[in-house]
A and B are shown apart, each in its own frame.
Chain A
Amino acid sequence: MSYIGIIITFVFINNFILTQFLGLCPFIGVSKNVESAVGMGFAVTFVMALASIASWVIYHYVLIPLDIVFLQTISFILVIAALVQFVELVIQKISPALYKALGIFLPLITTNCAVLGIALINVRNDYNALESFIAGIAAGLGFLLAILLMSTIRVKLDSEWIPKPFRGIPIAFITGGLMALAFMAFDNALLNNLLG
């Protein structure tokens, strides 16, 4: 598949949150205001791009040569945990301002299904290094798009009257469901029309 195809697929058609249900916890938990949603979105995109590359290297240069592909899940989650720790240290050293903005989200990212999800999906789709990297960024941007839209809607929802049992998390899910309905407009037919 072409690179543009991969980007459109992961940002819109297979949006990680709205069609694959990966990364729902931060989508519901961290979308109460726009600022933290954007921070989380960028942090996830950054880690997903790095994790895609790192897991590709581990898979093709360690797991396959040693014939231990069955250790895929363990090795990927350890790589991601180490990567998140490393990114946290580097950001803290290089840019305290960025650390202040993203710092609190980074520990949460280790257990974000989206990051391990993209590493596993890249392997399943047999992507090469560049395709994996692009898929990682695109899936991260899809996450950013969904969580940003969600947070702007939730800010508006704050000033509306909502039946008591629906306040908080339930209305967030229903909003997400309506967004997912809208995203159904993006399907493979659209991709075929765009790319011929």
Chain B
Amino acid sequence: MLKEFTKGFIKENPVFIIVLGLCPALGVSTKVVNSIGMGAGVIFVLLGSNIFVSLLKNFIPEKVRIPAYIVIIASFVTIVEMVMEAFIPALYDSLGVFVPLIVVNCVILGRAEAFANKNTVKASILDALGMGLGFTLALIIIALVREVFGLGTITLFPIGNFNGVIEIPGLIDSPVRVFALAAGALLVMGFLKALFTWIEDIRRVKQ
């Protein structure tokens, strides 16, 4: 059972290994805080959709299952949209169009189709949490690389006196701007994917 939870972190990481959900992974990863917000939204939607798909798997007719999944997912996305807009409007604005676009995040539909409609509710919950955390982890890694090099900062949530921005000495004055731009996102993703492929290869040779 625990394997359903941990497989999403590295072995079947949705972004780096299966290569799904790329648009939000690159689109919002300019700042670490955006990645965390996006990840939280995706975890919530994934959890909701996996639970409902798994509960309803015997009632949804085979032929209309995809539209049915999309309706379930879109309902949860609407909840996320409303909650985010009401309570964290700054994050909602910086994520922009990518919040409603969680609907077409292939990770969520992929888990509904590949896992939740064949497994129990309990396994689906673990799967959703694992995959969601794996997705968030991937987003944070991409954002860390892009923000540290591209802006020379690490932006987190402001708590008390801490304003939420960690400045990296040296890089803050002369950051490598291209990392923060669109081109940088694609380049970083390419090199990170190559890194993961390389690690995977080494592990396979060792076994």
A58 to chain B, nearest CB (A): 14
CB–CB A24/B100 < 8 A: no
Instruction: Looking at the assembled complex, report how far the CB atom of A26 sits from the nearest CB atom of chain B, in whole angstroms.
Output: 10
Q: Which residues of B contact A176 (CB under 8 A)?
A: 186, 190
Assess whether B26 is in contact with A73, with CB atoms less than 8 Å apart: no
- Across the interface, do B186 and A174 meet the contact criterion of CB distance under 8 Å? yes
Would A177 and B67 count as touching, CB distance under 8 A?
Answer: no
Size bin of chain B's contact surface: 35 or more
> DSSP class of B's interface residues: helix, strand, loop or mixed?
helix
Given A25-B106, A28-B19, A165-B198, A181 contacting B78 (CB threshold 8 A)? no
Query: Do residues A121 and B193 form an inter-chain contact, with CB atoms below 8 A?
Result: no
B174 sits at the interface (CB 8 A): no
Enumerate A91-118 residues with CB–CB distance to B below 8 Å: 110-113, 116-117
Bound complex: CA of A77 vs CA of B22, how far in Å? 19
Please indicate the chain B residues that have their CB under 8 angstroms from the CB of A70 in the complex.
78, 81-82
Interface of A is mostly: helix
Inter-chain contacts of A173 with B (CB < 8 A): 186-187, 189-190, 193
- Assess whether B36 is interfacial by the CB under 8 Å rule: no
Cα distance, A124 to B98, chains bound together (Å): 13
* Complex contact A116–B104 (CB within 8 A): yes
- Is B185 an interface residue when CB atoms closer than 8 A count as contact? yes
Q: Decide if A72 is an interface residue (CB 8 Å cutoff).
A: yes
* B180: interface (CB < 8 Å): no
Task: Please provide the chain A residues from 118 to 177 with a CB less than 8 Å away from any CB of chain B in the complex.
Answer: 120-121, 124, 163-166, 169-174, 176-177
Q: In whole Å, how far is A27's beta carbon from the nearest beta carbon of chain B?
A: 9
Kindly identify which residue among B23, B77, B197 contacts A113, using a CB–CB cutoff of 8 Å. B23
- Tell me the complex Cα distance, A196–B191, Å: 41
A111 touches B106 (CB 8 A): yes
Query: From B78, which residue of chain A is reached at the shortest CB distance?
Result: A73
Across the interface, do A165 and B70 meet the contact criterion of CB distance under 8 Å?
Answer: no
User: CA A122 – CA B183 in complex, angstroms?
Assistant: 24
Q: Is A74 an interface residue (CB 8 A)?
A: yes
CB-defined contacts of A86 to chain B, threshold 8 Å: none
With A165-B197, A169-B193 given, can you name 10 additional A-B contacts, CB distance below 8 Å? A18-B182, A18-B183, A20-B27, A21-B23, A21-B27, A24-B22, A113-B23, A170-B193, A177-B186, A177-B190
Which of A's residues lie within 8 Å of B, judged by CB? Answer: 18-25, 28, 70-74, 77-78, 81, 110-113, 116-117, 120-121, 124, 163-166, 169-174, 176-178, 180-181, 184
Q: Which 10 A-B pairs have the closest CB atoms?
A: A173-B190, A177-B186, A177-B187, A174-B190, A180-B183, A170-B194, A165-B198, A74-B74, A21-B27, A24-B22
